[in-house]
């Protein structure tokens, strides 16, 4: 049997046990739990949240989470949390090459690098955008984030996410979402020497599937394609460390056992993964572009309808068939702020300079669009049906302006000449032509 067993469905009411009969029958907190386990509720919403938005799971574990030492401050180099007032928001378009891979042994926590933040983690608004690199496993250390849930987007190398609620294997082309407060460990899958990717730390309402509106009942990301792990536990004693991100800072506590000791659990608050190749892309079959919102996989709503705290949008392989249409993304200025990354292949709006592992930032109302070479080519090519296959780009789009971190602004991998990609866009105006 594979180490990775999953349950299908988006935020279902799951029930799973690693030992038969470990889940109590008919109640959540019996006087004595089966196998001498402790019952612990893991809540991702207020107790009185509407039933449709109430998130909680019951965990049945060997030792309760409270069995640990006191926390002490824990220092790590280049991790930031909003509000970050060191740098003012910047209207300039920005782009970066991939974060260089580490030379020294670096695990997931050591390799976190914050690119930008917005909102305020303390008031549960906005998000943080991080890069990760790693070439070593977490073995004696574990991590949880009390400031937000983590959307993990691998770009290079396959990860094994060992969590309280089970094991997930996540490869480039897939994503994983780790709920706020979930304890986990990141290791490399077999055959992966080093890994790199992107993380959106969502401070606000948990990600959900977007409404489909006139699309109808089917399309985009289908709920059945989201996979949640089955129960897995280890009963291991030793010297371990639990690192917590809380209030924008890191804290550490000592444990004398592995916290991955949940023998059974049930509920709808749990980690999940999704294969982006299963996204059912919707596109035009006549003319012009639908807005990029049609590519939304997950959304974290804000208190204003239609203006997301954060949207996760992808640009996957798809057919381009629009007639009489400039097919790359059009020039635009947007009230939403856009952070973009490239998982593999090429992006159709940039002929060069935007490479896998790289990223770009176009803040609110900052103009952007195809570079000069892309514009010239797309304006004159024959409009035959074309399959755009070698591509997978994504966007973290937010109603809040992103503040780049000082580390991101001064990084050696920043492309300081990015704005030059539009310098070749000369006037083609001919007042006498029609």
Q: Could you tell me the two tokens for 208?
A: 């959900």
Closest CA to 178 of 195, 208, 201: 201
Handedness of CA 232, 165, 56, 6 (dihedral sign): negative
Of residues 65, 23, 61, the one with CA closest to residue 267: 23
Q: What is the DSSP string of 236-259?
A: -EEEEEEEEEETTEEEEEEEEE-S
The mean pLDDT value for 254-260 works out to: 98
- Tell me the pLDDT of the chain averaged across its residues: 95
Tell me the average pLDDT across 237-258.
Answer: 97
pLDDT at 1: 43
Report the alpha-carbon distance of residue 56 to residue 181 in Å, rounded.
Answer: 12
Q: In terms of pLDDT, which residue wins out, 1 or 254?
A: 254
What is the average per-residue pLDDT within 261-284? 97
| Sign of the torsion angle spanned by Cα atoms 373, 375, 378, 381 | negative
pLDDT of 63 over the 50 cut: yes
pLDDT, average across residues 299-310? 96
pLDDT at 87: 76
Task: Determine the pLDDT at residue 409.
Answer: 96
User: Would you say 347 is a known binding-site residue?
Assistant: yes
Is 332 annotated in some ligand binding site? yes
Q: Tell me the C-alpha distance between 273 and 225, whole Å.
A: 9
- How is residue 69 annotated by DSSP? -
Percent with pLDDT over 90 in the chain: 93
Q: How far apart are CA 258 and CA 261, in angstroms?
A: 7
- Residue 79's nearest CA partner among 104, 110, 100, 122 is 110
For 314-336, the pLDDT digits (tens) are 999 999 999 999 999 999 999 99
Work out whether the CA dihedral 46, 307, 285, 361 comes out positive or negative.
Answer: negative
Extract the tokens encoding 35. Answer: 């196998």
Report pLDDT for 182.
98
For the ranges 175-179, 292-296, 303-307, the maximum mean pLDDT occurs at 175-179
Task: Report the range out of 171-175, 324-328, 370-374, 387-391 with the highest average pLDDT.
Answer: 171-175
Please, what are the domains in the chain?
69-260+270-275 (2.60.120.10), 277-416 (2.60.120.10)
Residue 266 labeled ligand binder: no
Residues 220-243: tens digit of each pLDDT: 999 999 999 999 999 999 999 999
Give pTM, 2 decimals.
0.97
Query: Is pLDDT at 346 greater than 70 in this prediction?
Result: yes
Tens of pLDDT along 171-225?
A: 999 999 999 999 999 999 999 999 999 999 999 999 999 999 999 999 999 999 9
Q: What is the Cα–Cα distance from 242 to 261, expressed in whole angstroms?
A: 14
Average the pLDDT over 382-386 and give the result. 95
Mean pLDDT of 248-268: 97
Residues identified as active-site: 289
pLDDT digits (tens, 9 = 90+) for 398-411: 999 999 999 999 99
CA distance 304 to 323: 35
**Residue 434 predicted with pLDDT over 70:** no
Distance of alpha carbon 247 from alpha carbon 240, whole angstroms: 23
């Amino acid at each position: 049997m594979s180490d990775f067993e999953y349950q299908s469905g988006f935020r279902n009411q799951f029930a799973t046990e690693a030992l038969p009969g470990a889940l109590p029958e008919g109640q959540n907190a019996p006087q004595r739990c089966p196998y001498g386990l402790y019952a612990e509720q893991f809540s991702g919403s207020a107790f009185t949240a509407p039933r449709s938005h109430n998130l909680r799971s019951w965990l049945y574990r060997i030792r309760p989470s409270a069995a640990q030492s006191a926390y002490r401050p824990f220092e790590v180099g280049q991790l930031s949390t909003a509000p970050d007032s060191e740098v003012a928001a910047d209207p300039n378009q920005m782009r970066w090459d991939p974060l260089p891979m580490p030379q020294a042994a670096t695990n997931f926590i050591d390799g976190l690098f914050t690119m930008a933040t917005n909102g305020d983690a303390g008031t549960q608004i906005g998000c943080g955008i991080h890069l990760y690199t790693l070439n070593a496993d977490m073995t004696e250390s574990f991590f949880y984030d009390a400031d937000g849930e983590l959307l993990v987007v691998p770009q290079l190398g396959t990860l094994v996410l060992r969590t309280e609620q089970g094991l997930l294997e996540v490869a480039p082309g897939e994503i994983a979402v780790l709920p706020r407060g979930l304890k986990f460990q990141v290791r490399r899958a077999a055959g992966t020497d080093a890994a790199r990717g992107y993380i959106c730390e969502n401070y606000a309402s948990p990600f959900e599937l977007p409404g489909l509106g006139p699309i109808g009942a089917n399309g985009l990301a289908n709920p059945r394609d989201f996979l949640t792990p089955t129960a897995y536990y280890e009963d291991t004693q030793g010297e371990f460390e639990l690192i917590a991100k809380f209030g924008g800072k890191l804290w550490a506590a000592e444990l004398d056992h592995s916290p991955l000791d949940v023998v059974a659990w049930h509920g709808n608050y749990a980690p999940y993964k999704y294969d982006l190749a299963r996204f059912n892309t919707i596109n035009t079959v006549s003319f012009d572009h639908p807005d990029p919102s049609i590519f939304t996989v997950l959304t974290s709503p804000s208190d204003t309808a239609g203006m997301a705290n954060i949207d996760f949008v992808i640009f996957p392989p798809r057919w381009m068939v629009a007639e009489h249409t400039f097919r790359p993304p059009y020039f635009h200025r947007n009230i939403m702020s856009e952070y973009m990354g490239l998982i593999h292949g090429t992006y159709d709006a940039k002929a060069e300079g935007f490479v896998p592992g790289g990223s770009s930032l176009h803040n609110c109302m900052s103009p952007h669009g195809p570079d000069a070479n892309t514009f010239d080519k797309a304006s004159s090519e024959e409009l035959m049906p074309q399959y755009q296959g070698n591509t997978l780009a994504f966007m973290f789009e937010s109603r809040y302006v992103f503040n780049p971190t000082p580390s991101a602004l001064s990084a050696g991998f920043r492309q300081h000449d990015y704005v030059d990609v539009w310098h070749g866009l000369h006037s083609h105006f001919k007042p006498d032509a029609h």
